[in-house]
Each structure stands twice: as C-alpha cells, then as structure tokens.
Structure 1
Amino acid sequence: MGDEPLRITGIDGGAGGIRVVADDVLMLGVLCRGVGAELDEVGVAGALAGAVLAVEATAVLAPATALLAGAALQRSALGPHSPIVVGGGARVLGNALVTAASGYDLTEAANVALWDAGDAVGLVVSVKDVLTDPAGASVAVAHAYAAEVMRAGEPLDPQDAADRWAAAHAGELEHRINGAAVLAAPGVAGARLGQGEDVLGEHASWAPVAVVAHAAAPLWVDGEPVVGVTGPATVGSAPTRTADVVRGLAATNEREDGTIAVRRITSRQDGVERQAVLVDVPGTDAWSLPGDETDQVRDLGGNVGLLGGDATAYARGVEAAVVASGVPKDVPIALAGHSQGGMAAVVAADRLRGQGYRVTHVVAVAAPIAHLRQPRGVTTLALDGDRDVVTKLDGRPNGDRARRVTVRFDSGLEGTGPNHDLRTYARAADEADDLAATDPSLARVVTEMRDAGVLTSGGTSASMETVHVRITADRGR
C-alpha cells in the first residue's frame, strides 16, 4: 500500500471542457453568418433604399415632411443599426468566431502530432542508449531495482520490483507504447493498403496503436459469440451512485468466466413508472496465445482486436445478449465495462445505436478507449488510474471531448494488480460522485444518468432485476 490516499488528479472533457466551448463558439459563428446571409437574401436593405428614393420623389408635395421621412429612412438604410451594417457585422463576427473555433482544432491536431513525434524520438533515443551503452543500461536497471526495494522497505524479487516500477511509471510507459506504434504504423498501414485491406477496425478513430493492433488481431481466431442465460433472475437494490455501478460490475466479475449481467431497473418519478437497463461487461479472463483456441471470449485476442477497433466476438455477444433479453428500443440503456469490457461496451453501444436502441451512457472503468470512436448520441464516463498501465495501452489520453468525460486519479497504491482492481476504481467512483456536486462535467453526466433512470434517487421506490448471461466463443473447431 502507498502512503497517499486516493485523490482525483484531473477531469477532462464534457460540459466543463474546452471542446464544448469551441463547439459553442463554432455554432454561434455559423448562426451569425446565417443572420447576415438572411438579411441580404430578403433584400431588406434594398427595400429601404428604394423607399428613400420614393420619399424624395414626393418631396414636391410636402417638402418638410419628406425631408424628415427621408432622413429617418436613410438612417434606417445606412445608419449604424441598418440591415446593411448589422448584416455585414454579423458576417464579420461569424467569420471571426468560426476561425477561432477552427484554430482550436488545428492546435489540437498539432499537439497530437507533437505528442506522436516526441514519443517516437524518445523511444529511438532510449533504444540507441541501450545499444551503445549496455553497461550503463544495466546499471540504470540495477538502480531502479534498488529504488523499488528501498521504497518497499523489504526484499523484492525482480518480477515484483518490475511490477511496482511499471505502476509508478505508467505515464512513461504510455509514451513508449505510443512511440513504438508511431514507428511501426506507417509500414503496417502501407502493407495493408497494398493488399487492399482496411488499416483500422470499423469502430476505431485514427491512432497508431489501433493500426498496429488491427493488423495483429487476425493472429487469433475470433469466432462467433454463443449467448446463454445462467440461473434464475434475481432482484436487488437499484444503483443510486456511479460507485454502485462499479461495485455491481465487480460482483459480476466474480462469476463464471464470460458472464455479463443485464439489469432491468424500475423506478417511479413524479408518479410515473420508468424503465432503464444497465449491462455489466467485465474484463479479461484468459491470456491465450495465438493458436490457443478455447471457448473463452474474453481472451488476449479479444483485447488486441478491440485495441484495433474491431467488433470482437465479445462485443457482438454483449450486443446479442441485449437484443435477446427483449429490451424495448425506447428504453434507456447504459453499459458499464472494466478493462477489455470497457472497450467492448463502447463498441457494443455503437452497434446497438445502429440498430435503433436508445443507448445513453457507457461507464468505462480502467479501459484504454482513446482510440475508439465515440458512439453518436452516447455519453461516456471514463475512470482512468494514473498508475494503471492497462489504461495506457492505447498510447494517449482520452482527450477533451464533448461526450467523453474522463476522471483521472492517483490511487496511492503500488503494483499493477491493485491499480487495475475494481475495488480501487470503486473508491475512485466514490470520489467522483462527491465531486459531481461542484464539477460541471461530472454534474452533467450524473444528472443525465439519473434522468434516464439508470441511477435512482435515494428514497425513491426502485428495484433492479438481474439476469446473468454467459458468452462463449465458437471458433469452428
């Protein structure tokens, strides 16, 4: 155990993020340009100018009145508040706002490019140092081992020391992973394009890690999902906080390999009964190497496929379980996934939305999802441990996105296992729930989940019926 208590180190994206402000500025700019265009289109300015000429033509009949009317119309047509000036000003302001918002996007793209370039250079320099000075590298490793032993205050075998070092340097490893992918991605992408194959999985956005993982995924036989209900339905308390969602996910994780939970939540609000569905999607069960074709659907191959943006057998199995459970398409659905399950939840959410289901939220716990496309109309709450190496496997942070809120935290724990454990993430969710009272991004997510009926209010009449479903992989053996 570390000396530090768990603490939130940052909240990115969502209502309080820069992305939302940039989107709002862009929308305002487009509206301003539209106002200017509409003023021109209806010809208000031209009509007023014509009226000025008409008044002047009648001046012989009433010179004084015509003079006053003409002056007023001229002010309306050409003055500071005339349609000509207002329309032109709206267009100028609109163009400036659109340029400012576009500048944010260009800056963001430049920062990503610098991140990739820096990671690639850093990795090259590190490898060069090892090759040119192996003795110095060995001394550095020995010093790192000694430092971990001193921090632990007890003897450590090399594997334990390496495990503790990895957790303490998870951010550095994220850069190394991305650097390796940046160096490999151009060659991998070129080879696949030359063979007429896709460079990325259908659910991935551009990321070097996704390119490499998509190319490696066929080393494993993914197979087809087989879905079956296990045991009778059970009834329990509905979640009131996101921490309850994480603890429920932890309970599902303790069940038989491949098991997920489909939870139907019933509550009453303002005298009206509401229905919602929460799906638990746990993480990896097996670390199978290529050729180990078992029926385990949550294996290493599934991780690689999801890192490549593929709709793996696990993700498709989650989708199939929701469809088979008979959930009406207008009922709000949230998916909560841990590790590989977090990636599978994002992909399944995208696929279910494509079928017309009302998926509203994904809670991604300890999951590397930066490379995955955010499903349209879905809000993701991601919990990312600063010391959790698994969340760094995508090679970059989740970034600032309007519909993806990332809560970063330092657990104060040593070792990769404790930092990836769902009990650690439940503690982080407790802290995030408390911060939702003051943070605009968290407040928006929690409020939306409560409005959807996925979270219920304390004291509200609510219940939750849970059906457990086991997903296995048919690999055609």
Structure 2
Amino acid sequence: MTVSNIGVSGGAGGITAKYDDLAALGDLTGDVAGDTLKTAVAGHKFLAEPDVLASSLLNPGGVVKFEAAMAVALDGPNGLTATSAGIGLRGEALKATRIAYEMADELAAKGLDASRWFAGLAVATNPVGAALVGGGAIATDVYLNYDGDWQKWLVDHPGMVDTLVGMSPGMLSALGIPVDLATNLDLLAATYPDSDAVVTDSRTTNPDAPGNLGDLLDGLARRNSSDKFESDQNPDPANLDVQIIRDANGKVTGYVVDIPGTKEWNAPFTTKGANDLGTNVDAMAGNNTVLQKGIEEALRRAGAQDTGAPVMLVGHSQGGIVAAQATTDLVSNGYNVTHVLTAGSPVGRIEVPGAVQVLSLENRNDIVPHLDASGNPDSPNRTTVEFDNQQNTVGGNHQIQENYTDAARELDRGSDPSVQRYKDGLGAFTGGSSSEMRTYRVDREGGK
C-alpha cells in the first residue's frame, strides 16, 4: 500500500485560525467605527463655527442650507454618527460569532465524551446484554467479512479504540468509582513507579544534516531500529539522539532530538527501561517522566541551554507523547523549543505552549493515535495530517519506515498552507551544512 487521501486540519489554515481572523476583523471594524465617530464629532464643530455664523448676516439662506446639509450628513439616518454605530455593531457581531463557534465546538467535544461515558456506564450495568447485542454484532462482522481475523477488523475500525477508551470512565463509575478519563490516567499512572534518569553518553557521529520532513523521520527511524540500519556495528543500547545542526561557518543553528517509541510492555507495579509502558501512561497523565528527564539532561550536555538555539523534538508513538508533554517544562527551564513532530502518537489531550509549532502525522488505520479518545486541537500552532496506508496489521500501520516516512515525503512535495507554514519555520533544522549526532542511553535510577 502507498500513502493516499491526505487530509490536513488545524495550523495556519485551520478553523481556529479562521476564528482568530474573525476576532481580528471584529477589532478592525471596531477601530473603523471609532474613527468614523471621531470624524462625526469633529464635523459638529462646523455647525457652530464663528465664521459660518458671521456669514449668516450676508447670506442667511445659504447658511441655513449649509447647517441643514451638515446635520443630515452627520446625524441623519445615513449620516456618519449612524454609520459609526452600524459599523460598531458589525464588529461586535463578528466577535460574538467567533465566541459562538468556539462554544459550539467545545460543547460538541464535551458531548462526545459524555455520550461515551454513559455508554460505558450502560455496558457495566448490563454486561450480558451489551455482549449479546454489541459484541455479537461485531463478532458476526469479523467472521463473515474478515474470515475471523480480529486484527484486520480492528485496523479497519480504529475508531472503536476511541469508543472503548472513552467508555472506560463510565464503566468504572458503575462500580462506585466516579471518574473521568483524566482521573483514570492518574490512577493508572500511580501503579507505575517513576524514578530519576541516569543518562550515559553512547557515541558521537556525523551524519548528513536533514533537509526536509522526510529526512527528519528517516533519522527517527534509524534511532528506533538502530540494529536494522547499523548491522555492521555492535547493537546500540542508546535510546535518544541529539543532532546538533551547524551552518557553513560552524555556528549552531538548532538541535533535533529523536525519541523512539515503546520498547517494553511491562505490567503495573513493575518498572523496566525508560521506554516502557509506565512512561506511556505517565506522559499521557501529564507527568514528568524519566524519559523527559533524560531528554532535558541530554540537551543540557549538548549545550542547547547555553546557545539558546532552537530545539525540535521528533517522536514516534510514545516518543511523540513525551515530546509534546515535555514542551512546557523545557520552555520553562530555558530551552528554546520551537517545533515538535509526532508520528502515530495520541497527543490530543496534551497542552503545548502557543509559541511551539506541532505537526502530528496519523495513519487513519493506526490504532495508537486513538488511545486518548480525543482528536487533536485545531489551533494555529497544532497541525494534524491524516492519511491512508492500510497494511492490515496493527504493527504495519504503526511502523515508521514505509509508512510515516512515506507520508512525510508526500508532505515535502505538497503545498497545503498549514503544512507549508510549518515547513517554512524549519530552517534552523533543515538548512544546515553539517551535523553532529550525540547519542545517549537513558535508564531508570536503580533499575534497568
């Protein structure tokens, strides 16, 4: 399969940006109304101008006509005063329209969360009936139309993941634990003990500097599967890259951090490496994870805090979650994070500073981006690209190579305004003449 049916939402050409345009137009219209009113006020002075009044002795009829014409022009039904009021009302209407649209979007999102919550409550209250009706219908579809292949059915219906995750708070509430999805994640995160990060320098290399989005994701693919790309070397135990980009004069222009996905799927109350399931849950719950701590230490060692040069975080799956979650703390701690690129990551409920530009790539048949039961925000700094590349397996639809890398290459050739605006801001990372790759291993203190 190849990448097709690319759709873009959010960013500079997104709906929220249009809402902001409405507000700006409302402010501009208000300014015009104010200027018009000032002109009207200034015009009233001519009605009592001494020279005009003095001329009434010589030409009383002309003065009367002048005064009448000025009064109509200033205060008549179509005069400047009425025009000013009308323009002002239009400006307020534009701003009110923007607020109404935003409220409608927010209510729709909350309504969807509420409907899933009640669906979960209903299932927990009557599990037998739900299994017979809902489960029976799904099972019939799987065996009649998918030859019993549940995996193929799931990647053909990835929205089912949103539904099931969104139903979980209602199901728990039926057991006497009133929770929402955020509380669910907090409770689950508490079952995975976190720790401080132990960062070890691995090696330094000098790869070609990235030139576009495809190159950036190729670099992430190499970090994610170093044994596949570096078969002539010993397996690299590292799990983090910091690529230092330099211009022709050797000056640092930017830092690109490659953050791979989950490597270990451990049960609650156990810990593994920095790329384990606990990091996933912790990051989605909004916590500072051991991997995030490792990223900050790696950037410090690479000199990012000293130079103040722009920082870009590139992450796949878990790596994208941690990248998005880390932005607020990194910015607060003095790092110039300007861009985030995520691939197959559920980041819809993670808040990102408005000055940080985020581009999220999502294969529509990849179930992982659905794990937060939320669409990504449609805001000027958050652009989401969805595409089709059905490979009929969970792993195939989620992999970086020949999936997300191919989508990035298509975007390099495209001209969507939101994506283009994002690409236009990547010069610090994709316009370099040389690069130095510093590779690090991040472990849990006292653990694996």
One-letter code of the match for 1:176?
L
Match of 1:179 in 2: 167
The counterpart of 2:55, out of the listed 53, 59, 67, is 59
Q: 2:244, 2:252 within 8 Å by CA — same for their partners in 1?
A: no
Query: How far did 1:356 drift?
Result: 3.5
Structure 2 residue 315 is the aligned partner of structure 1 residue 334: no
Match of 1:348 in 2: 326
Match of 1:213 in 2: 185
- Give the secondary structure class of the aligned counterpart of 1:349: helix
Q: Give the whole-Å Cα distance in 2 for the aligned partners of 1:60 and 1:188.
A: 89
Under a length normalisation based on structure 2, what TM-score does the superposition of the two structures give? Answer: 0.86
Structure 2 residue 303 is the aligned partner of structure 1 residue 315: no
Q: Give the whole-Å Cα distance in 2 for the aligned partners of 1:240 and 1:80.
A: 62
Match of 2:231 in 1: none
The 1:133–1:379 alpha-carbon spacing in structure 2 relative to 1, beyond 3 Å, is closer
Q: 2:123, 2:171 within 8 Å by CA — same for their partners in 1?
A: no
The counterpart of 2:361, out of the listed 383, 386, 407, is 383
Match of 1:429 in 2: 408
Q: Give the whole-Å Cα distance in 1 for the aligned partners of 2:418 and 2:396.
A: 27
CA offset digits 1:232-266 (Å, max 9, x no partner): x2112121221111110011112445621111112
Under a length normalisation based on structure 1, what TM-score does the superposition of the two structures give? Answer: 0.81
Gaps of at least 5 residues in structure 1 are 151-155, 192-207
Match of 1:284 in 2: 262
Structure 2 residue 201 is the aligned partner of structure 1 residue 222: no
Match of 1:197 in 2: none
Q: Give the whole-Å Cα distance in 2 for the aligned partners of 1:133 and 1:66.
A: 87
- Give the secondary structure class of the aligned counterpart of 1:247: helix
RMSD value over aligned CA atoms?
3.2
Match of 1:200 in 2: none
Q: Give the whole-Å Cα distance in 1 for the aligned partners of 2:193 and 2:219.
A: 31
The 1:282–1:138 alpha-carbon spacing in structure 2 relative to 1, beyond 3 Å, is closer
Q: Give the whole-Å Cα distance in 1 for the aligned partners of 2:289 and 2:298.
A: 14
Match of 1:468 in 2: 439
Match of 1:300 in 2: 277
Q: 1:334, 1:454 within 8 Å by CA — same for their partners in 2?
A: yes
The counterpart of 2:150, out of the listed 143, 149, 162, is 162
- Give the secondary structure class of the aligned counterpart of 2:269: coil
Match of 1:403 in 2: 381
The counterpart of 2:112, out of the listed 111, 115, 124, is 115
Structure 2 residue 40 is the aligned partner of structure 1 residue 21: no
Q: Give the whole-Å Cα distance in 2 for the aligned partners of 1:440 and 1:266.
A: 28
Q: 1:409, 1:428 within 8 Å by CA — same for their partners in 2?
A: yes
CA offset digits 1:56-102 (Å, max 9, x no partner): 53234543675576467546643688653453233211111011101
Match of 1:202 in 2: none
How do residues 189-204 of structure 1 correspond to structure 2 at under 5 angstroms? none
How do residues 35-46 of structure 1 correspond to structure 2 at under 5 angstroms? 35-37=32-34, 45-46=40-41
- Give the secondary structure class of the aligned counterpart of 2:49: helix
One-letter code of the match for 1:225?
A
Q: Give the whole-Å Cα distance in 2 for the aligned partners of 1:319 and 1:187.
A: 41
- Give the secondary structure class of the aligned counterpart of 1:108: helix
Q: Give the whole-Å Cα distance in 2 for the aligned partners of 1:136 and 1:60.
A: 92
One-letter code of the match for 1:432?
L
CA offset digits 1:5-29 (Å, max 9, x no partner): 3313421111221111111101221
Q: 2:169, 2:178 within 8 Å by CA — same for their partners in 1?
A: no
Q: 2:146, 2:152 within 8 Å by CA — same for their partners in 1?
A: no
CA offset digits 1:328-349 (Å, max 9, x no partner): 4541211101111101111222
Q: Give the whole-Å Cα distance in 1 for the aligned partners of 2:237 and 2:137.
A: 41
Q: Give the whole-Å Cα distance in 1 for the aligned partners of 2:364 and 2:282.
A: 24
Match of 2:398 in 1: 420
The counterpart of 1:263, out of the listed 240, 243, 252, is 243
Q: Give the whole-Å Cα distance in 1 for the aligned partners of 2:93 and 2:446.
A: 56
Gaps of at least 5 residues in structure 2 are 227-235
